[in-house]
Structure 1
Amino acid sequence: MESIAVELLAICGSTRAGGNTDQMLQFAAEVARQRGASLATLNLRDYRFAPSSTCGDCNYRETPCELKDDMPYIVERMRRADGIIYAVPVHGFGMGHLMQMFIERAGVCHIRFERPLTNKVGGAIITGRRYNHGSVHSQILNNLLLNRMIVVGSGFPALLHGGKPSEAWDDVEGLDSVRRMVERMVDMVKTMKHYSQLTDHPFLRYEEANERHLDTGRLFSSREQLI
């Protein structure tokens, strides 16, 4: 499986160029390279996308949002990747605003209609001075699961402590968690691709793009069989 190409994409939600989040993604990219994969970083601060607007029809639309910005390009980059890492700093005891705005807009206005991230491998890197890393990680993890992504167990989550730039490098345990997460993400993608090459079938089946198109017939049929 060494020759199988793996392309990971990191979505960086930090507003601070060169800060701890950026540096941890540089480390993650080197880990991926050593594992025979590539990791590109998309910095949300470099793109133009609007927050969810007041149009009010997001929960009723059958097609993606019509606001003109860079969101379709970002979603397409995610669609092409084999795996995605969300990297975000903790601000004010919560998720940095760029990532929060991105998750809301991408999910409600674009991704929900086709679920293009289904069966992609996902991971999260959380940076911050001291407080509430776990809660932010849980929010990212819930979003990965909402998008039907595959989260590999890697031991401790990749939570890194550091306030000033470069302080996260002193968190040896956090760095090791990043290393293990990235390595297992790469290995999982390779396993899935290898299976598909051998069998000419996807590793996991995927039939339902939009949860709004609920197959009630299947649900009631299963209920009747169980009763």
Structure 2
Amino acid sequence: MKVLAINSSARKDGNTAILIDHVFQELNKAGIETELVQLAGQIIEPCKACWACQGMKNCVHKKDTFCNTFEKMVEADGILLGSPVYTANVSANMQAFLERAAVVCDMNPGLLTHKAGAAVTAARRGGALQAVDSMNHFFLNHEMYVVGSVYWNMAYGRLPGDVLKDQEGLDNMRNLGRNMAYLMKVLQKDQDVT
């Protein structure tokens, strides 16, 4: 089993990556392989609404890294989306990525069905719930199972490394990782039976 994480922060290895790493630690303890894709330094182009992806199972536009990352999503058993809060929502790269992925999935139903999905966000103060909701809505609209924890999947931090001071947030990330591992193992058993 494998989880692909997409970090849409403009800052490589910043607060969002730290949160993803805390989730990964628990997944790895459970024997689940992990891979992190960081969009820092990249520009994900928005969807062109050309509908050419119908029957293609991926976007036909190849100017950015979307297609490669989307292929990894389809192959993964679980997807972890991470975004910092920018203007009370996800980053522009995450928004563009999710819009394109949504259209490809809409034109090719079933690509992500029954996968486990979880979203995490790093916030200075406000907007974290909107960001988590945006990512969770992507999962829900594509028949995925959303993994939760004991509180919202967020931690506070402004400067790089600040989330390490939010012990409750870090504990929540570890619990999220354990919950995701549990769900993925249940889903795997169910697939083995059918």
**What secondary structure is seen at the aligned counterpart in 2 of 1:122?**
strand
In 2, are the aligned partners of 1:117 and 1:148 still within 8 Å (CA)? Answer: yes
Task: Give the match for residue 77 of structure 2.
Answer: 82
Match 2:128 to one of 129, 133, 155: 133
Q: Quick one: structure 1 residues 92 and 47, their matched pair in 2 at CA, closer, same or farther if it must change by over 3 Å?
A: closer
Q: Quick one: structure 1 residues 80 and 93, their matched pair in 2 at CA, closer, same or farther if it must change by over 3 Å?
A: same
In 2, are the aligned partners of 1:75 and 1:111 still within 8 Å (CA)? Answer: no
Task: Give the match for residue 116 of structure 2.
Answer: 121
Structure 2 unaligned segments of length 5 or more: list them: none
C-alpha displacement of 1:192: 1.7
Task: Give the match for residue 196 of structure 1.
Answer: 191
After superposition, where does 1:178-197 map in structure 2 within 5 Å?
178-197=173-192
- Quick one: percent identity of the two aligned structures? 27
C-alpha displacement of 1:117: 1.0
Q: Quick one: structure 1 residues 46 and 80, their matched pair in 2 at CA, closer, same or farther if it must change by over 3 Å?
A: farther
In 1, Cα distance between equivalents of 2:83 and 2:34: 16
Task: Give the match for residue 159 of structure 2.
Answer: 164
Match 2:105 to one of 100, 104, 111: 111
Question: What is the Cα-based RMSD across aligned positions, in Å?
Answer: 1.9
In 1, are the aligned partners of 2:151 and 2:172 still within 8 Å (CA)? Answer: yes
Write the deviation string for residues 194-217 of structure 1: whole angstroms up to 9, x where unpaired: 2332x2x1xxxxxxxxxxxxxxxx
C-alpha displacement of 1:61: 7.0
Task: Give the match for residue 41 of structure 1.
Answer: 36
Task: Give the match for residue 66 of structure 1.
Answer: 60
**What secondary structure is seen at the aligned counterpart in 1 of 2:61?**
coil
Write the deviation string for residues 46-75 of structure 1: whole angstroms up to 9, x where unpaired: 65642223xx544x9744543223322211
In 2, Cα distance between equivalents of 1:128 and 1:115: 32
**What secondary structure is seen at the aligned counterpart in 2 of 1:100?**
helix
Choose 1 or 2 for highest CA Rg. Answer: 1
| TM-score of the superposed pair, with normalisation by structure 2 | 0.89
In 1, are the aligned partners of 2:53 and 2:60 still within 8 Å (CA)? Answer: no
In 2, are the aligned partners of 1:51 and 1:105 still within 8 Å (CA)? Answer: yes
Higher relative contact order (Cα pairs below 8 Å, separated by 6+ residues): 2
C-alpha displacement of 1:86: 0.4
In 1, are the aligned partners of 2:121 and 2:155 still within 8 Å (CA)? Answer: yes
Task: Give the match for residue 8 of structure 1.
Answer: 3
Structure 1 unaligned segments of length 5 or more: list them: 1-5, 202-227
Runs of 4+ in 1 over 6 A off after TM superposition: none
Task: Give the match for residue 151 of structure 1.
Answer: 146
**What secondary structure is seen at the aligned counterpart in 1 of 2:164?**
helix
